[in-house]
Amino acid sequence: MKKYRKSKADFLLLVLFLVCVLSPLNSAFAQRGRFTGKVTDEEGNPIEGVIIIATNPNAMVGRVELKTKKDGKFLFAVRETGVWQFKITAEGFHNYIVDVSLSALKKNPSLTFELKRMTGGVELTGPVVEKELFDRAEELYETKDYKGALSHFEEFLQKNSAVYQVYYNIGLCHQELGEWDKALENYGKFLEKLPKEDTAYLEDQSLKQAVSSTYYKMGQCYIKLEQFDKALESFEKTVELNPDDPNTYYNVAEVYFYTDHPKEAIEFYHKSIEKKPDFFDSYLKLGYAYLKLEDKPNTIK
């Protein structure tokens, strides 16, 4: 009877030993073959509900569909080592396609994917010919071939001179190429050519977003040209049209900050934080603004 008890105790000790030894190993193995991704917009804000389709023609299960959570993250369990293609789609954003080499045996580094908002956000109006030119231009823009996209947009405009929305797309290409004056010229043409009936964009959400985005982009160009008064005017119009966007408040604050108006900058940094409580850059610059005012207590906060 004593011998039985001893062997049972030994068995329990062995089990306990194995649990202690294998648990860390299991945890380590659990990390293998995992890939964590995050999808954000151009300002770094996480995008929820993004559809991610991962494909690998050489894998046994060659297609997996995922969706991002509230924090913009998704988790992909890599079952076979190889190159996986990720097609990332979200409403209001350009599609993003990228090939990623992943391992089923090692821990994979996390990656962040940045989506660009749709150019314009409004449908083309009027009779359109050779629409394939516009579609091809958008494809080139998505792949960051801005010169190629610009050439196609301009050719499309020559054949469709009444389709004024294309000026916005042309402006985007010039802005990406660092041609700020040309970008502003085309953004201005887009706004000038809005038909009078279209100025009722307060009721038309897609057009309202396009006009708001135009003023936002113009503000960015004016900052690059160090024309801060005009940048401020543009951002203020964006605030009127889209009062819930924290990035616009942040940009207004930046203009005030760099033109040595720290009190006004503080006001708008606070507004951006109200809209986005985890806006790290606003907290950082808020401290600098208080420092300019020699307000040490608030600088420390």
Phi and psi at 167, nearest 5°, equal -60, -35
Q: How far is CA 265 from CA 161, 258, 285, 295, in A?
A: 42, 9, 9, 14
**Residue ranges of domains in the chain:** 31-114, 131-300
Residue 227 is predicted with a pLDDT of: 93
Residue with tokens 């959570």: 69
pLDDT digits (tens, 9 = 90+) for 228-237: 999 999 998 9
Q: Which CATH number applies to 31-114? A: 2.60.40.10
Comparing CA positions, the residue from 191, 292, 298, 295 lying closest to residue 238 is 191
What are the DSSP E strand ranges found in 179-255? none
Give the integer Cα–Cα distance in Å for 41 and 252.
19
Give the integer Cα–Cα distance in Å for 289 and 269.
9
pLDDT digits (tens, 9 = 90+) for 146-205: 999 999 999 999 999 888 889 999 999 999 999 999 999 999 999 998 765 555 555 556
pLDDT digits (tens, 9 = 90+) for 264-276: 999 999 998 998 8
Instruction: Tell me which H or E stretch contains 111.
Output: strand 111-114
Which residues does residue 73 pair with via DSSP β-bridges, in sequence order?
38
Give the integer Cα–Cα distance in Å for 185 and 120.
16
Question: Encoding tokens for residue 195?
Answer: 């038909």
Q: How far is CA 208 from CA 121, 122, 166, 173, 240, in A?
A: 9, 9, 16, 21, 11
Calculate what percentage of the chain has a pLDDT beyond 90. 33
Q: Which long-range contacts (CB under 8 A, 24 or more apart) does 217-224 make?
A: 217/171, 217/172, 217/175, 217/183, 217/187, 218/184, 218/187, 218/188, 219/251, 219/255, 220/175, 220/251, 221/175, 221/180, 221/183, 221/184, 221/187, 222/180, 222/184, 223/251, 223/254, 223/255, 224/178, 224/180
CATH topology of domain 131-300: 1.25.40
Residue 279 is predicted with a pLDDT of: 82
State the average pLDDT over residues 205-217.
Answer: 80
Question: Encoding tokens for residue 4?
Answer: 């039985």
Residue with tokens 């996209």: 149
pLDDT digits (tens, 9 = 90+) for 34-84: 889 999 987 788 999 999 999 998 888 889 999 999 999 999 988 888 899
Which residues does residue 83 pair with via DSSP β-bridges, in sequence order?
101
